[in-house]
Amino acid sequence: MTDQDTPVYAAFVSPHGFGHAARASAVLRALHDRTGARFVLFSTVPRWFFDESLEGLYDYHEVETDVGLVQHSALEHDLDATLQALDDFPAMTGSRVAELAGVLEETGARAVLCDISPLGIAVADHAGVPSLLLENFTWDWLYEPFHDRAPGLAEHSRRLAEWFDRAQVHLQTEPLCRLDMSADALLPPISRPPRRDRDEVRAELEIPEDDALVLLTMGGVGEKLPFLDRLAGLDGMHVMATGTPETHREGRLHCFSNETRLYLPDYVEAADGVVAKLGYGTAAEVWAARTPMAWVSRGDFRETEPLRRWAESELAGFEIAGDTFAGGDWIDQLPELVTLIHEQDDAPGGADDPDLRVETPADMAARHLEDLAEDLTS
């Protein structure tokens, strides 16, 4: 419960991996730090993920906010299953939208953040509350190359595009897939800040001072890692792997299951190199930490090429083709990865003194959301 002086905002967050939840969490945390706001969250992303940034600051409603792409693994999607899920997804009108709009009205939500869920825009529209779309791609754009193979996607793309266009404020973020000249702003990558320093994390993992640390993560959707035994015996190098079947340690290999709570920005900051699926969330956090990255690309996926161009320009590292990842040949390149130097200009960050704190991309997005609510009430 909140008192009448505490501003409340709602957020509808896509569960397609954890990148959207990481980005939304960063913005909402920045908004809380600016205004003391509390939140009403709608998503099927696990509560523990939001707790990492917003524990005690939100009410959670387990609601499927969009379909996205149905995936069998981090690198493999299923068009037929995606089309069936879209056909079965409740229409963004009618009783369900009215019910969720009632939640906004009961909580007094001042505005709605949508990353990248069009359901949030529909609910805000029904409740008479302004909405802000935050994206580096939208689902209608992502589906376009699949229209020939799955013709039914074309109609879904058209309807989704209509809903995305109804948001009162439209923010785009790097790494960007398609520039929309009508958008209100283009922001740098939005990421969650680390909460612990490098030495603290390395001490927790019991890593000797002279050994390197590599973080291996394929994001919120699982992927087989058949090469783990090779990583356990690397000389002078520890590897921290997420998404493994169980949490355990074997030699210099530190395995963590997806059920183990990890605040990933801490480990990105502590790592000498990152091996990860080329997706928004990890790429943004690697960019902010200036950690070298070997990125695993996905074929037959429209987001891959613009992300690849951005990574080649903005990150120190190299590409691992998705169809060669399981073979593990890239392991021989890890000594090279951890010696690379990230030459990016200083990324927006924070300072202990609030008066010296640089405005981060998350702050910028939070300011737009606050201004949107202020415009409605003024």
Domain ranges of the chain: 8-192+357-377, 198-337
The b-or-e profile of 110-130 (16+ CB within 10 A means b, else e) is bbbbbbbbbbbbbbbbbbebb
DSSP symbols for 47-69: HHHHHHHHTTSEEEEE-------
φ/ψ (deg, to 5) at 345: -60, 160
Q: Which pLDDT score is estimated for 353?
A: 43
Question: Which contacts (CB < 8 Å, 24+ apart) does range 326-332 have?
Answer: 326/224, 326/226, 326/227, 327/227, 328/226, 328/227, 328/230, 330/275, 330/294, 331/227, 331/230, 331/231, 331/234
Query: How many Cβ atoms are within 10 Å of 340's Cβ, its own excluded?
Result: 17
Asked if 314 contacts 283 with a C-beta cutoff of 8 angstroms, the reply is no
Q: Which CATH class is domain 198-337?
A: alpha beta
Q: Which pLDDT score is estimated for 1?
A: 43
Q: Do 8-192+357-377 and 198-337 come out as alike in CATH topology?
A: yes
- Does the domain formed by 8-192+357-377 have CATH 3.40.50.2000? yes
Asked if 314 contacts 293 with a C-beta cutoff of 8 angstroms, the reply is no
The letter for the amino acid at 263 is: Y
Instruction: Identify the CA nearest to 189 among candidates 174, 210, 208.
Output: 174
Instruction: Identify the CA nearest to 332 among candidates 313, 318, 316.
Output: 318
| Low pLDDT (below 50) residues in the chain | 1, 348-354, 356, 378
Identify the three-state secondary structure at position 346.
coil
Burial of 62 (0-12, 13-18, 19+ CB in 10 A): exposed
> Could you give the C-alpha distances from 300 to 86, 144, 256, 267, in angstroms and in order?
20, 12, 29, 30
Q: Which pLDDT score is estimated for 377?
A: 55
353 CB-near residues (< 8 Å, 6+ apart): none
d(CA 159, CA 156): 5
Length of the chain: 378
